[in-house]
Chains A and B, each alone.
Chain A
Amino acid sequence: MKAGTLKQILLLTDGCSNKGEDPAVVAGLANQQGITVNVIGILDDDQTEEPEGLREVEDIAVSGGGVSQIVYSERLSQTVQMVTRQAMTQTLQGFVNKELRSILGKNQSMEELEPEKRGEIMEVVEDLGETSDLEVVVLVDSSASMRDKLETVKEALVDLSISLNARIGKNRFCIYRFPGRRNDIELVLDWSPKLDAISQVFPKLTSGGITPTGPALRAAMYQFSKKQLRRKWDEEPFDIEETGY
């Protein structure tokens, strides 16, 4: 079995969207296109309970078929890499479940298998997670309240690429921030296998109080499509051979 390329959007935010379409709906749309949407909500160090705004975080991830987590910024690095990996496993499991159903019948899924069989299947899922290629569009909220967190976000992203680049499969990342100065999103770093170099390009500036999460997600989704258009010879969205960078 070959999983091909896994596609993820990683959204990092500290609040609620307040402009444009509902981000959960857009995330659902992205998921239908084979893209997984993961969301990390970042708390301020002095926040003792989850603010209202971060409730959206779980909704977006659930409809985006991904994983969500709310954390203090000191835990960000470990969380970012865990969420990404967990989502890969989840996607691959879904993929394997589909295969299982086609072999064993409609209602079979991993959870309904006895633990012994599940173990064998999990080995396959792990192998796939280690070897499949991964593309991540990182979407960083850069509204004003994020100002003090951007340095930590940068570190967490460098850390993420260290983790993922230890895998056998290939990785590509690109980073956008939102809102951009002119558009819903603004490119920070174009597709690249590593993130070590982001120190120079990572924004320190934030922009106003608008958080157009929905429109930003939609724009992020098109970053994959653009690439797919470029290689329109691949018909199967889930079985793309990498053609090198």
Chain B
Amino acid sequence: MKNHSTLKKPAIKLHAGQNVIGKWHHQSYTVVRKIGEGAIGAVYLCTQRGRPVALKISEQDAAVTVEVNVLKALKKVQGYRLGPSLLDVDDWTAPNGRVYSFYVMEYMKGDRLGAFIQAEGKKWLGVLMIQLLDDLEQLHQAGWTFGDLKTDNILVESNPPRIRLVDVGGTTRMGRSIKEYTEFFDRGYWGLGTRKAEPSYDLFAVAMVFLHIYYPRRFDRVAGEASGKLLEKKLYRAKDLDLLHPILKRALKGKYLTASEMKKDVIDKMKQLQRRSHYHKKTRQKKNYPVLESFSISIVASIYWIISLLLP
């Protein structure tokens, strides 16, 4: 007694060259390649009349609609570009006869955060962290928690380097339960907090994102070992992060209640370093202080960037 229409909708796979044509708005998109895949469907690079766009399609219609709602809500957050901009929402009747929901967004060109730091060096850590915290602050003020914050969902656009958040699948209204998360970045997994949407949930993930750069293969919780201790140990082993240790530690402990508090600490730290490296330059012959030096470069960059923010 099997009724085919009630069978589970199979996951959808698109191949290069395939055309996806919307049922309602009749726009046509040509698939170039798959960009990524996650809990909810997959993202494809497509072209629409020659221009590149990103198309997300899933067998879970409800989840697609929920993400679209978030993108629409973010659009209303004044003058600030949080997440990719939404271009189209539609349904597509696949060759298998089933209807799949999809949405089309701006294609963001950039490196994943981890790849960017590997290529460009740790001197960018401070600037990028400030940018990230700045974006989160805006998002939080608009009443949202990003949720599924992870290295894969942070792209760095180049010239000048600028962080962009992608994938709003986990983006949740403050005070509700986080919709989607990735274990390594989730404080609930580590037993270090709830899964309630609040700023400190994202700030924990920020610390894990920076830790992840130095543990690209991630690591698991250990049964019988306190996770707080384990994370601290891992943190201290990531020598490149040493200047940020106290800040990251506070974030892991949930001590920052707002992104701006954490951002202020990062900025203060960088100012302090700038003063110190200035001092070193005056009093000594050039001695090798790679970390300090690289940080002072990033201070210049971040000041440049902060000024650019202040300009209209």
Contact = CB atoms under 8 A, between A and B. Distances in A.
Interface of A: 58, 61-62, 68, 77-78, 82, 85-86, 89-90, 93, 110-111, 114-116, 118-119, 122-123, 125-126, 130, 159, 162-168
B246 interface: no
Contacts of B175: 168
B66 A62 contact: no
Interface of B: 6-8, 24, 39, 60-63, 65-66, 68-69, 72, 89-91, 99, 101, 175-180, 183, 188-189, 194-197
Nearest to A85: B179
Given A89-B62, A162-B194, A111 B99 contact: yes
A163 B6 CA distance: 29
Given A166-B194, A166-B195, A122 B62 contact: yes
B225 to A, nearest CB: 14
A101 B7 CA distance: 22
B171 to A, nearest CB: 12
- Which 9 interchain pairs have the tightest Cβ spacing? A166-B177, A166-B195, A115-B89, A122-B65, A167-B177, A166-B196, A162-B188, A89-B62, A119-B69
Nearest to A121: B65
B65 A119 contact: yes
Given A58-B8, A115-B89, 7 more contacts: A61-B8, A78-B183, A82-B39, A86-B63, A125-B62, A159-B188, A162-B194
B189 to A, nearest CB: 7
Contact of B183 (A77, A119, A164): A77
B72 A119 contact: yes
B9 to A, nearest CB: 11
A62 B8 CA distance: 7
A62 B6 contact: yes
B8 A111 contact: no
Nearest to B69: A119
Interface residue SS majority, chain A: helix
Nearest to B24: A114
B176 A168 contact: yes
A162 B65 contact: no
Nearest to B102: A115
B97 to A, nearest CB: 14
Contact of B101 (A115, A126, A130): A115
Given A86-B60, A162-B194, A122 B89 contact: no
B183 to A, nearest CB: 6
Contacts of A164: 177
A123 B69 contact: yes
Contacts of B197: 166
9 contacts: A62-B8, A86-B60, A89-B62, A111-B61, A114-B24, A119-B72, A162-B194, A164-B177, A166-B194
B125 to A, nearest CB: 29
A7 B280 CA distance: 67
B62 A90 contact: yes
Contacts of A111: 61, 91, 99
A55 B6 CA distance: 16
A170 B112 CA distance: 39
B168 to A, nearest CB: 14
Contacts of B196: 166
Contacts of B39: 78, 82
A126 B24 CA distance: 24
A135 to B, nearest CB: 17
Contacts of A162: 188, 194-195
B176 A115 contact: no
Contacts of A58: 7-8
Nearest to A164: B177
Nearest to A131: B176
A163 B179 CA distance: 9
B175 to A, nearest CB: 8
A118 B65 contact: yes
Contacts of B89: 115-116, 119
Contacts of B90: 115
A201 to B, nearest CB: 17
Nearest to A167: B177
B169 to A, nearest CB: 11
A68 B194 CA distance: 26
A2 to B, nearest CB: 18
A61 B8 CA distance: 9
B177 A130 contact: yes
A196 B24 CA distance: 48
A166 B62 contact: no
B37 to A, nearest CB: 14
